[in-house]
Amino acid sequence: MHGGAGRMIANTRKRRRRPGQARTDLVDLDSDIPPLRECVRRSLRAYFRNLNGHSTGEVYELVLSEIEAPLLEVVLTEVRGNLSRASEVLGLNRATLRKKLRKYGLEKTGDSAA
């Protein structure tokens, strides 16, 4: 996961795109929506504020699951359920993608054959 997802999230520098080339960063996709990084930062600050002194654990897994599930849902919708295409877009092999879909109960979303 480090290679594929990390590249997509960390790729925030402005780069020249060739005509017709897809955008690869997650910044300024819509001027009304703050960058994903800022949304996560705000949510985490609110989460810790709302704990009111109570202890917490497994924040890392909580954040990953909150981001990963909608990421998979949106990508699958964009590729019309084609698992081969989704795995390509996500930078995951198909077996890993299927495992993640099962983890989040999304396996029916990605039933289309390649």
pLDDT (tens digit per residue) in 19-60: 555 555 555 555 688 888 999 999 999 999 999 889 999 999
**Length of the chain in residues, anyone?**
114
Residue with tokens 């698992």: 83
Residue 44 Cα distances to 2, 25, 48, 73, angstroms: 21, 22, 6, 22
For residue 12, is pLDDT > 90?
no
Q: What percent of the chain has pLDDT over 70?
A: 68
Question: pLDDT band at residue 8, thresholds of 50, 70 and 90?
Answer: very low
Helices then strands, each counted (H, E), the chain: 5, 0
User: What is d(CA 8, CA 96) in angstroms, rounded to the nearest whole number?
Assistant: 18
**How far, in Å, CA of 64 to CA of 68, rounded?**
6
pLDDT of residue 30: 54
Report the distance separating Cα 89 and Cα 38, nearest Å.
23
